């Protein structure tokens, strides 16, 4: 007869689907390791499981983010397309985030000053503390033409952001010799109508293929966009409103034109790039801060340059570079000379 405690153990083993041999540490004669014996009794369900071997989680590659300027309290980087800045409601847990990558790369906590769309590339500012983040945000939205009670100096420059965009269609066919077009159209932002203004400046345009008629899918215009306000998808929505959507824009653009450029020009992304940021000095809002203007320029990424350097777009690319020499800048990455937390000041030993 079994004792009550032994019966309880066997009942627990059956309910928990545990082998009684494992519960009582019993093994057949000649077997010293019970766990090894139990593992040997498990037969793979098919031959594929034999070939698979142990499961190994693949290591994700984390790309390096190009640093344009590194200062003691802020940094400017060249954001690649396809990266979200910070986690939101629609981002998955395994999705790479720009703020996380930059935190690992610089070994410092970062605070995004402004945002760029997931599909947009270019210059973006991050601060290393919340106070600097607030000052940079004020500088980014500062307008010298209006009275700002938070400003200490009233002679500071007005902030400006410049974007490079490739629009669908021939600019001159609609606007003629007018190279600058200002769109002043309010936009609906989360249910509220807000003022929005964007300036489009033509750099170069191409009528496309002659055999395709006036509406050739290859017709395009390279423009410099300067948003005067900061609304969600402002440049993309204003470009669509004038009949020149940005090529590669799946939300506000033309799917047929996007497919043509993807198949014939290998453009697999939105052609929108933040080229430069110009901000007044932080001393405008705090006397103890740096008194130099902030100017950051992000060179065009290689996938965009490859589209513009094609033989059939050679004339457009040449004219655009002559009008704006910033388009000729090559990729660079400031890897040294930083004055952040990881900077070690060299102490020269004096000989007495």
108-134 pLDDT tens trace: 999 999 989 989 999 999 999 999 999
Please indicate whether residue 117 is annotated as part of the active site. Answer: yes
∠ Cα 237 241 242 (to 5°)? 125
Measured distance CA(175)–CA(282) in Å, rounded: 40
Q: Rounded to two decimals, what is the model's pTM?
A: 0.77
C-alpha 117 chain-centroid distance: 7
2-55 pLDDT tens trace: 566 666 666 656 655 555 455 445 455 555 555 555 556 555 555 555 555 555
| 142-151, 185-194, 222-231, 288-297, range with the lowest pLDDT | 142-151
Measured distance CA(304)–CA(166) in Å, rounded: 10
348 class by beta-carbon count within 10 Å (0-12 exposed, 13-18 middle, 19+ buried): exposed
258-288 pLDDT tens trace: 999 999 999 999 999 999 999 999 988 888 8
- 246: DSSP letter: B
Measured distance CA(236)–CA(251) in Å, rounded: 9
Measured distance CA(229)–CA(160) in Å, rounded: 10
Of 117, 170, 295, 333, the active-site residue reads 117
Q: What is the pLDDT of residue 349?
A: 35
């Amino acid at each position: 007869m079994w004792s009550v405690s032994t019966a309880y153990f066997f009942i627990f083993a059956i309910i928990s689907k545990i082998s009684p041999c494992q519960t009582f540490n019993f093994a057949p004669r000649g077997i010293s390791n019970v766990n090894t014996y139990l593992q040997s009794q498990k037969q793979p369900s098919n031959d594929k499981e034999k070939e698979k071997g142990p499961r190994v989680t693949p290591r994700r590659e984390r790309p390096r983010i190009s640093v344009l300027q590194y200062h003691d309290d802020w940094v400017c980087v060249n954001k690649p397309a396809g990266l979200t800045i910070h986690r939101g409601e629609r981002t998955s847990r395994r999705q790479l985030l720009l703020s996380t990558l930059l935190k690992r790369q610089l070994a410092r906590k970062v605070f995004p000053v402004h945002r760029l769309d997931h599909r947009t590339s270019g210059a973006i500012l991050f601060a290393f503390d919340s106070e600097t983040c607030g000052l940079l945000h004020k500088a980014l939205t500062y307008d010298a033409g209006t009275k700002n009670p938070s400003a200490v100096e009233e002679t500071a420059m007005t902030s400006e952001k410049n974007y490079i965009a490739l629009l669908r269609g021939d600019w001159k066919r609609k606007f003629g010799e007018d190279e600058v077009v200002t769109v002043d159209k309010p936009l609906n932002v989360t249910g509220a109508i807000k003022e929005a203004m964007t300036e489009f400046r033509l750099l170069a345009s191409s009528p496309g293929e002659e055999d395709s008629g006036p509406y050739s899918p290859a017709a395009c215009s390279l423009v410099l966009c300067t948003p005067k306000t900061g609304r969600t998808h402002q440049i993309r929505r204003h470009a669509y409103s004038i009949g020149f959507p940005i090529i590669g824009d799946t939300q506000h653009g033309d799917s047929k034109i996007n497919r043509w450029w993807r198949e014939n020009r290998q453009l697999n992304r939105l052609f929108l790039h933040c080229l430069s940021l110009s901000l007044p000095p932080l001393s405008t809002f705090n006397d103890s801060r740096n008194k130099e203007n902030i100017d950051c320029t992000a060179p065009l990424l290689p996938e965009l340059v490859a589209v513009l350097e094609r033989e059939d777009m050679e004339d457009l690319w040449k004219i655009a570079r002559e009008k704006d020499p910033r388009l000729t800048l090559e990729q660079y990455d400031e890897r040294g000379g930083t004055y952040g937390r990881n900077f070690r000041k060299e102490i020269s030993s004096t000989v007495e």
